[in-house]
Structure 1
Amino acid sequence: MAEQKPSLMRPEAVTTGVSAPVAAPIQPSVVYAAESPSALDAQYEGRAAGHTYAREGHPNAAALAARIATMEGCAGGLVTGSGMAAVASALMGLLRAGDHVVGGDQLYGRSLRLMREELPRLGIATSLADATEAGAVAAALRPETRMILIETVSNPMLRVADLEGIAELAQARGILLAVDGTFTTPRALRAVEHGADIVIHSVTKLLSGHADATLGWVGARDAALLARMESFAVTMGLTASPFDCWLAERGLLTFELRYDRAEATAAALAERLGDLPGVGGLRYPLSADHPDRARAAALLGARGCNMVTFEVAGGRAGADAFARAAGEAGLPMAPTLGDAGSTLSHPASSSHRGLDAAARAALGIGEGTFRLSVGLEPEEALFAALAAGAEAARAAAG
């Protein structure tokens, strides 16, 4: 009988006799038996394949990591227990005391807190710069700078990084470039093709896509970089659950369909939201008035992501009224994105609550700022919920 090869569409399965399961199995074992000490040595030294202890890897994580690495065009990848664990693996696995890292000033809130609070106490110096301008990043560099961390499209204000300019700068200076591609995913942009050394994803979001698995992934152009990040993640116990990995691998089967549908609906809503009284400050990467429209078109082509950010009238009172009315109409507020169901997020009270009002204002985040993560619902149903929220916000604003 000819050898059965893994399906390109289906999760990797284990062959059993003359047949193979169509769905991937979950393998929850914490430990794996070795034939002998020499056989175990062979595994640890990379001369034989296998697993030892789940903190060091397991079949479900390996299958998911390899699948995302193929999507991103990386040499390999590592699945972690959350998106922030992936960010930490890149920063803390590759940097040491005395090093300096420059981050985009509009990074996700917890990434900002890691940069501002945790890395400095470990002796790693940090600076923040406007990632939409390579010149601003260049001005923040120091002789001891070892890494630049940016997001392709920022959370939540949807600014588009000057990826190619920053990549050219990093390569010229011998600095590692790490790119968080959670918003764009490899469907819209493969960051290694634009000069990134390291790619990061919160798999919890669009890749998994069903709000039932908490995972991260970090991959690298260079296998040696990946090995260093993996060693840190294993030592710190940033382990991914086999069940969550299984759920995410299943989610990848519909990823492209989900992404394309949500992106198309987001683009349509972005054209309509500005017509609602009391809604302003609309941000969508491909909108004509987006400050980075030209760069978005050059970098992403016709891809605009599934996120729309906007401002409602009335400050916090307006925001409360908007969220209640939209929720009653079927659009919940929740601190997540990328689900099959659409969600609203209020950055001032969730992702960026760790920043004071002045720091949030500097990023363009006010009490009336909302980020909409578009899912699979019909456009008209979503617009009706947003319209109900906008009307309530205007009433609250007086």
Structure 2
Amino acid sequence: MDKDVQQGFETLAIHAGQEPDPTTGAVVPPIYQVSTYKQDGIGGLRGGYEYSRSANPTRTALETCLAEIEGGTRGLAFASGLAAEDALLRTLCKPGDHVVIPNDAYGGTYRLFAKVAEPWGVAFDPVPLGDVAAVRAAVRPETRLIWVETPTNPLLGIADIATLAAIAHDAGALLVVDNTFASPYLQQPLALGADIVVHSTTKYIGGHSDVVGGALVVKDAELGERLTFHQNAMGAVAGPFDAWLTLRGIKTLAVRMDRHCTNAEAVVEMLTRHPAVRQILYPGLPDHPGHEVAAKQMKAFGGMVSFRMASEEEAVRVCERTELFTLGESLGGVESLIEHPGRMTHASAAGSPLEVPADLVRLSVGIEDVDDLLRDLTRALG
């Protein structure tokens, strides 16, 4: 295969880091379920492997693929998305530093900042990242990171990655983009100026609700080396079977995302006509405040849809009445999920500036037959 030719996303997802096994010719990388490796003399490592916390061939295949599909120089796979976030914060921040985060960030990210990073001495400010003036005003001399989710979880807010990258770099800070909702197929933050991409690979990248994982992908090679040191030193790495499952999921990411997006658009169209729905939050709608930015920086608008009912009681009732949409946390799997963020994924933000509306329902629209999904939601809405 000509390495000088720029390959398409679908090709990279299937082949990057995944050459046939040199011993057997197996076309899928093996699961190297091993903790240690024979050395050819002291310090004589075969392929650089000595202990699987430091490196494992299955994890290397995944990390190589992640870097390629995000357009980065180094990918790192972790045991969870929050493990990846924690390693990033402890590598790049120290007591006295400051971070700007979205004012509607994922509840687990908010908990990490409020309950772990802040007691350690890292200050943070939640800011509406769609308001460029507010972001500029929040940046301090000690700001080290501007932390972006776009789209956000669960309010589907949109941030202009290129603009925020310029603000961060002017301040001597780095731009971190949580690309979990969009996936690398729909959005390429590094190409837009971001320095680091974060993923919960549990979600769209894994895609089958059978593995928990996280990832970082970086543009700068030296930063990649620093993060790799901390990945090894802190130890929350992806195990070989988890890495193998995640790599398997990546192979179908493009075709799955196409279907997620098509189904979500049909669901949104139905919700716009339903009298019980008070508001729909979806960046594909022309009246969404971030629609133009999303159209510019995303290939399509994703498979996540949130909407508001007339009351908390009605929102809970809808969540409890669906049958095909499974009531459950997480997102990005082939099956459709429904949840009440205020009582479920974002309960940790209750009482904080990031508390989500009590009447909010969040959908992760799967890849089932769209007519079946529409019937299920219509019946649940009454």
Distance of aligned partners of 1:325 and 1:38 in 2 relative to their CA distance in 1, 3 Å threshold:
closer
Alignment of 1:65-76 (within 5 A): 65-76=63-74
Equivalent position to 1:346, from 316, 335, 340: 340
CA contact (8 A) 2:110 2:349 kept: no
Instruction: Using the TM superposition, give the Cα deviation of residue 15 of structure 1 relative to its aligned residue in structure 2, in angstroms.
Output: 1.8
What is the distance in 1 between the residues matched to 2:183 and 2:222?
24
User: Which amino acid in the other structure matches residue 336 of structure 1?
Assistant: S
What is the distance in 1 between the residues matched to 2:278 and 2:257?
26
Counterpart in the other structure of 1:15? 22
2:197 match: secondary structure: strand
Identity %: 34
2:205 match: secondary structure: coil
Tell me whether 1:26 sits opposite 2:31 in the alignment.
yes
User: Which amino acid in the other structure matches residue 34 of structure 1?
Assistant: Q
What is the distance in 2 between the residues matched to 1:175 and 1:355?
26
What is the distance in 1 between the residues matched to 2:203 and 2:72?
20
Counterpart in the other structure of 1:388? 379
Tell me whether 1:305 sits opposite 2:302 in the alignment.
yes
Counterpart in the other structure of 2:363? 372
Counterpart in the other structure of 1:87? 85
Instruction: Using the TM superposition, give the Cα deviation of residue 233 of structure 1 relative to its aligned residue in structure 2, in angstroms.
Output: 2.1
Alignment of 1:83-232 (within 5 A): 83-232=81-230
What is the distance in 2 between the residues matched to 1:255 and 1:24?
18
Equivalent position to 2:41, from 26, 36, 40: 36
Instruction: Using the TM superposition, give the Cα deviation of residue 268 of structure 1 relative to its aligned residue in structure 2, in angstroms.
Output: 1.7
Larger gyration radius, structure 1 or structure 2: 1
Counterpart in the other structure of 2:353? 359
What is the distance in 1 between the residues matched to 2:220 and 2:238?
22
Instruction: Using the TM superposition, give the Cα deviation of residue 190 of structure 1 relative to its aligned residue in structure 2, in angstroms.
Output: 0.8
Counterpart in the other structure of 2:240? 242
1:257 match: secondary structure: helix
Instruction: Using the TM superposition, give the Cα deviation of residue 73 of structure 1 relative to its aligned residue in structure 2, in angstroms.
Output: 0.5
CA contact (8 A) 1:89 1:230 kept: no
CA contact (8 A) 2:141 2:171 kept: no
Instruction: Using the TM superposition, give the Cα deviation of residue 214 of structure 1 relative to its aligned residue in structure 2, in angstroms.
Output: 0.6
CA contact (8 A) 1:331 1:342 kept: yes
CA contact (8 A) 1:284 1:290 kept: yes
What is the distance in 1 between the residues matched to 2:372 and 2:338?
14
Instruction: Using the TM superposition, give the Cα deviation of residue 104 of structure 1 relative to its aligned residue in structure 2, in angstroms.
Output: 1.5
Counterpart in the other structure of 2:7? none
Task: List per-residue Cα deviations over 1:309-345 (Å, max 9, x = no partner).
Answer: 0012341x3233212210xx32111111100111112
Aligned length: 369
Instruction: Using the TM superposition, give the Cα deviation of residue 178 of structure 1 relative to its aligned residue in structure 2, in angstroms.
Output: 0.7
Segments of 5+ residues of structure 1 without an aligned counterpart are 1-6, 41-47, 392-398
Task: List per-residue Cα deviations over 1:56-91 (Å, max 9, x = no partner).
Answer: 121111100110110011011100001111111211
2:44 match: secondary structure: helix
CA contact (8 A) 1:267 1:284 kept: no
What is the distance in 1 between the residues matched to 2:199 and 2:140?
27
1:146 match: secondary structure: strand
Task: List per-residue Cα deviations over 1:105-163 (Å, max 9, x = no partner).
Answer: 11111111111221111122222211112221111111111111111210000010122
What is the distance in 2 between the residues matched to 1:60 and 1:212?
17
User: Which amino acid in the other structure matches residue 152 of structure 2?
Assistant: S
Instruction: Using the TM superposition, give the Cα deviation of residue 274 of structure 1 relative to its aligned residue in structure 2, in angstroms.
Output: 1.9
Alignment of 1:242-281 (within 5 A): 242-281=240-279
Task: List per-residue Cα deviations over 1:221-273 (Å, max 9, x = no partner).
Answer: 11111222222222222111111111111111111000111111111211111
User: Which amino acid in the other structure matches residue 148 of structure 1?
Assistant: I
What is the distance in 2 between the residues matched to 1:165 and 1:21?
45
Counterpart in the other structure of 1:44? none
Counterpart in the other structure of 2:4? none
What is the distance in 1 between the residues matched to 2:230 and 2:34?
22
CA contact (8 A) 1:76 1:226 kept: yes
RMSD of aligned Cα (Å): 1.7
Distance of aligned partners of 1:264 and 1:202 in 2 relative to their CA distance in 1, 3 Å threshold:
same
2:348 match: secondary structure: coil
Instruction: Using the TM superposition, give the Cα deviation of residue 368 of structure 1 relative to its aligned residue in structure 2, in angstroms.
Output: 2.3
2:349 match: secondary structure: coil
Counterpart in the other structure of 1:78? 76
Counterpart in the other structure of 1:3? none
User: Which amino acid in the other structure matches residue 314 of structure 2?
Assistant: G
Instruction: Using the TM superposition, give the Cα deviation of residue 358 of structure 1 relative to its aligned residue in structure 2, in angstroms.
Output: 6.4
Segments of 5+ residues of structure 2 without an aligned counterpart are 1-10
Instruction: Using the TM superposition, give the Cα deviation of residue 306 of structure 1 relative to its aligned residue in structure 2, in angstroms.
Output: 0.7
CA contact (8 A) 1:335 1:345 kept: yes
What is the distance in 2 between the residues matched to 1:151 and 1:116?
17
